Structure 1
Amino acid sequence: MRQPPVAVCRPSAFLLRQIAFCPTCERRRRFAGRDCAWYGPTWTCCGCGDAWTDGERHPRPFRRGWRAEAIAAAKLQWRAAALFARSYHGRWLREQLGERW
């Protein structure tokens, strides 16, 4: 029996970046962020690969190599976030929430 196709919807995201203190690394690090409307931004440390949303650390996967993969993805996102002007973040968020200027 064939399974029906599955549609996965993903909200629009605004890429962010910042330098902040990493509790895992215990020093200042680069963080790549992804903000979606109705959710707090998710920040990933470019040094250790740990991620946080609303101050809570995400669970760490129980598999080999996850940290190296997370670090590589965070570094790619850090570079991509350079294309997003942080000054436009507020405007983007208001548009996502359907507010007019």
Structure 2
Amino acid sequence: MAAADVFAFPSLTEGFGLAAMEALAAGVPLVVRDLPVLREVFGPAARFADTPEALATTLAHALTSDDPVRAALQGADRPPHLDRGGRTPPGVLPVGYRWVTP
């Protein structure tokens, strides 16, 4: 999961989105279907799309280097547990609200 450039979650019937949550934990940009439950769960951490066309456009935007979320993750102020690509490196696991490294 951590090697992905972006994670698409276009589900119409998902109640929580565990796979999408795993993508976020790995530091992978997330594009999900614009459903009230997913807005509640992911809030500003995800990008939302309500049609297949919007999904394609939002995915393309998430893959570009000018994407503000990706740029923030690659900046000098990124959390110390993230690599230059904004991803969680192998061997680093979230524990509660703090990150533990081996």
TM-score class, shorter: under 0.3
Q: What's the TM-score, normalizing by structure 2? A: 0.27
**TM-score, length basis structure 1:** 0.27
Whose helix proportion is higher, 1 or 2?
2
The structure that has the greater radius of gyration is 1
Q: Which is richer in strand?
A: 1
